[in-house]
Amino acid sequence: MDVYLCFRYTADMQRIAGLLVAVGLGCTASAESVSAELSSLKLPPGFTISMFASDVPGARSMARGEDGTIFVGSRDDRVYAVRDSDGDGDADKVVELATSLNMPNGVAVFKGDVYVAEIHQVSVWRGLGRKFSEPLPKREIIKRSFPTDRHHGWKFIAFGPDGKLYVPVGAPCNICEKEDPYSSITRMNPDGSEFEIVARGVRNSVGFDWHPTTRELWFTDNGRDMLGDDVPPCELNRVTKLGQHFGYPYCHGGDIPDPEFGKKRACKEFRPPMYRLQAHAAPLAIHFYQGKQFPKTYQNQIILAEHGSWNRSRKVGYRLMVARLDTKSQVVSYEPFVDGFLNEKEQEAWGRPVDILELPDGSLLISDDKQGALYRVSYAR
């Protein structure tokens, strides 16, 4: 059992260690080891990271309710509610909302309702996002017609500035040619009506957000496997017109024809990425920072989570990055923000960041599905 599932990290490690001994918890690692791992992470000056919640197995997508409850999906079968009842920045309760679901990765809150995306359907708890209470209201199914493929079937969901729910449908393979709605990002009304495709040629997007001023949709896409360590790149993309095609499975990274499908269509037919990311780094969440806590240089810039590679001779990713944009929304730099989840020498990763959620005070929550934990990144002037 990982120590992250045993207690929440605070600055007073000695006090917590004493409490663990006093209550006789059976953790296999010490408080000092947790402190060492969190303190080993590299952040820019003035930033700190701490444990917000533990014991959230497989923590993936996050959404915040109106009363501060954090709803968390997983790629297992459960959805959680995480509560910080006293508002001290350290969660004190984790509640299982549902079990036996079909990889409920995605969660979203809209007008007081909590939406959950399983592989094959989207459902909603009415009112639960306004004020958390038990027993839970009955969950309503609003859309059942998604493909049932488990390969890239898990879904990140979010409501856009247009009030519509955006839902990706991944390719059911490493590389293949499939008809709609595969390899796309779709959207629909909150009741499931007016379903349509927003973007095509998207292999596997597990994170997107909207630019605060242009309202354009930006998303990450995980590149195909089995072409080598550094080919093709993963992608950071921007949708400027409804129905744009981003290349998959014919073209990767804007100019790399696929060896199997590339002869069917030319790369010039498709919209190239805004930025080519490290191959196999597995970019997931992106978030345009809009809070006031961080320095102004972070305002309207992209924070991006690299989940980390699984099929590369040397591992890459396992970190948070900052993509800085100029006034024309061009990416001018891409640099580490929270680094150190991967031990480069040993080639072992102790954490894998997934999603990013901005809190009202301007701090960020980061989910980690390897440790089953939520971390809080904050800045002190």
Do 164 and 65 sit in the same domain of this protein? Answer: yes
Do 97 and 3 sit in the same domain of this protein? Answer: no
Do 10 and 158 sit in the same domain of this protein? Answer: no
Query: What is residue 156's predicted lDDT score, i.e. its pLDDT?
Result: 98
33-42 per-position pLDDT tens digit = 444 678 899 9
Do 87 and 146 sit in the same domain of this protein? Answer: yes
Q: Identify whether the C-beta of residue 305 lies closer than 8 Å to the C-beta of residue 234.
A: no
Do 191 and 304 sit in the same domain of this protein? Answer: yes
pLDDT surpassing 80 at residue 295: yes
Query: What is residue 87's predicted lDDT score, i.e. its pLDDT?
Result: 82
Going by pLDDT thresholds of 50, 70 and 90, the confidence category of residue 325 is: very high
Query: What is residue 86's predicted lDDT score, i.e. its pLDDT?
Result: 86
Average pLDDT value for residue range 340-362 = 95
72: exposed, middle or buried (Cβ count in 10 Å: 0-12, 13-18, 19+) = buried
12-53 per-position pLDDT tens digit = 333 333 333 233 333 334 334 444 678 899 999 999 999 999
Do 65 and 30 sit in the same domain of this protein? Answer: no
Do 162 and 287 sit in the same domain of this protein? Answer: yes
Do 292 and 216 sit in the same domain of this protein? Answer: yes
Cβ within 8 Å of residue 327, ≥6 positions away: none
Distance CA 166, CA 93 (A): 29
Residue type for position 310: W
CA atoms within 13 A on the CB side of 154: 19
Do 239 and 169 sit in the same domain of this protein? Answer: yes
131-185 per-position pLDDT tens digit = 999 999 999 999 999 999 999 999 999 999 999 999 999 999 999 999 999 999 9
Query: What is residue 299's predicted lDDT score, i.e. its pLDDT?
Result: 97
255-287 per-position pLDDT tens digit = 999 999 999 999 999 999 999 999 999 999 999
The candidate with the shortest Cα–Cα distance to 62, out of 85, 38, 82, is: 82
**Whole-prediction pTM:** 0.91
Do 34 and 134 sit in the same domain of this protein? Answer: no
Do 62 and 130 sit in the same domain of this protein? Answer: yes
Cβ within 8 Å of residue 93, ≥6 positions away: 82, 83, 85
- For the chain, give the percent of residues with pLDDT over 90: 87
Range of the domain at 23: 1-39
Residue 290 is part of a domain; what is its CATH number?
2.120.10.30
Instruction: Give 264's strand partners.
Output: none
pLDDT surpassing 70 at residue 2: no
Distance CA 266, CA 205 (A): 22
Query: In total, how many domains does the chain have?
Result: 2
Distance CA 97, CA 80 (A): 5
pLDDT surpassing 60 at residue 292: yes
pLDDT surpassing 90 at residue 221: yes
Do 35 and 79 sit in the same domain of this protein? Answer: no
Average pLDDT value for residue range 321-325 = 98
Going by pLDDT thresholds of 50, 70 and 90, the confidence category of residue 213 is: very high
- For the chain, give the percent of residues with pLDDT over 70: 91
Going by pLDDT thresholds of 50, 70 and 90, the confidence category of residue 116 is: very high
Query: What is residue 36's predicted lDDT score, i.e. its pLDDT?
Result: 67
